[in-house]
Structure 1
Amino acid sequence: MSDANDKLDQAIGRETGEGRFQVVISSGGVQFFADEPTSAGGLGSGPNPYQLLGSALAACTTMTLRLYADQKGWPVEDIRTAVGHRREQGGKPTDLFIRHITFSGDLTEEQRARLLEIADRCPVHRTLTASARVETKADELAPTCDGEDAHMADMEALISVGRRSFDFTD
């Protein structure tokens, strides 16, 4: 069921009433389940919240690398980004996201190395490694957001600013 507050720039989670943890997420004009595995008391019907966060990093990394490779005219045929998460004991930060990136195409070692550098500059990577803030408000489903294309604008700004700050033109 679509909600009048559904927009491309926000996600809405709503309990389904099925199982203890199953939530339907409405975001980007689509709906999907988030859940916990059966071993944790869920139905196992969708990714858990950390898998969703890892998915955001994987998607943003892949999109940023595609944007950069296309801008450079490099022969990148396929980009795949896998992200895993684990909690570490002791020091800070306690959450570790491990990202594995593979490229196919006739790339030089220098191009591959440069793409790995660019991966660290994707907007979601920057959000996870910087000091993000979360404001919580009761009884409101329409958070204030930067706009429907905020992520794309962040990636394009990264490329534009990067030409000066990160020497993307090499």
Structure 2
Amino acid sequence: MAKDSDKQKIVHIHLPKNEKYTTTLTAGKHELIGDEPESVEGGNDKGPDPYDYLLMSLGSCTVMTIKMYVQHKGWPLEDVYMELRHNKRHAEDCDNCEDPKSKIDVIEKEVIVEGELTDKQIQKILEISQKCPVHRTLMQDIKIESSIEHH
């Protein structure tokens, strides 16, 4: 029997011809809106931008993973929050690279926990936060296979 995690995930994305960037994203019965901020010409800021969704995916997976682990252990976690930041930085290991403009994507994850937790439990929560499935996916080499269908 296949586990839910073994099933292929399918989402649908639609950018109607009458919209500049406002996009409908559908995952099963859930519908969301994506857009570019107003600072981007044509953006209407009707929804999060693609990088917001990337950070939200990572953050939601992380807090769910933490909660599952802590509940299993019976630890007194009262609440868990996350703040994530994404930016591009000059690659430190590229100081001698041919392209002086080389930059790498950096995602900063800050986990905020509440509860009567020991220092050892807090350290274990930090360790577990780096083992959520989305975190592990983003840290691996990812193969993206693209195709196009024309109607």
Give the structure 1 partner of residue 129 of structure 2: 119
Matched, 1:104 2:114: yes
- What's the secondary structure of 1:86's corresponding residue? strand
**Using a 3 Å threshold, how does the CA distance of structure 1 residues 108 and 28 change in structure 2: closer, same or farther?**
farther
TM-score (norm 2): 0.81
Give the structure 1 partner of residue 44 of structure 2: 43
Q: Which amino acid aligns with 1:12?
A: H
2: CA distance, partners of 1:47 / 1:78:
25
Structure 1 segments (4+ residues) deviating >6 Å = none
Q: What's the CA shift for 1:83?
A: 1.3
User: Relative to total residues, which structure has the larger strand share, 1 or 2?
Assistant: 2
TM-score (norm 1): 0.72
Matched, 1:24 2:24: yes
* Segment of structure 1 superposing worse, 51-60 or 75-84: 75-84
* Segment of structure 1 superposing worse, 52-61 or 7-16: 7-16
- What's the secondary structure of 1:40's corresponding residue? coil
User: Is the contact made by 2:88 and 2:103 (CA closer than 8 Å) also made in structure 1?
Assistant: no
Q: Which amino acid aligns with 1:117?
A: E
Q: What's the CA shift for 1:28?
A: 4.0
Q: Deviations over 1:75-103 (max 9, x none)?
A: 11111112111122344771111111111
Unaligned stretches of 5+ residues in structure 2: 1-6, 95-101
Q: What's the CA shift for 1:139?
A: 2.2
Q: Which amino acid aligns with 1:16?
A: P
Give the structure 1 partner of residue 146 of structure 2: 136
- What's the secondary structure of 2:90's corresponding residue? coil
User: Relative to total residues, which structure has the larger helix share, 1 or 2?
Assistant: 1
User: Is the contact made by 1:8 and 1:29 (CA closer than 8 Å) also made in structure 2?
Assistant: no
User: Is the contact made by 1:8 and 1:27 (CA closer than 8 Å) also made in structure 2?
Assistant: no
Q: What's the CA shift for 1:19?
A: 3.8
Give the structure 2 partner of residue 164 of structure 1: none
1: CA distance, partners of 2:55 / 2:85:
6
User: Is the contact made by 1:34 and 1:46 (CA closer than 8 Å) also made in structure 2?
Assistant: yes
Give the structure 2 partner of residue 80 of structure 1: 81
Q: Based on CA coordinates, which of the two structures has the bigger radius of gyration?
A: 2
Q: What's the CA shift for 1:8?
A: 9.0
1: CA distance, partners of 2:61 / 2:79:
15
- What's the secondary structure of 1:60's corresponding residue? helix
Identity level (%): 30
Q: Which amino acid aligns with 2:132?
A: C
2: CA distance, partners of 1:80 / 1:132:
28
1: CA distance, partners of 2:65 / 2:15:
33
2: CA distance, partners of 1:112 / 1:31:
35
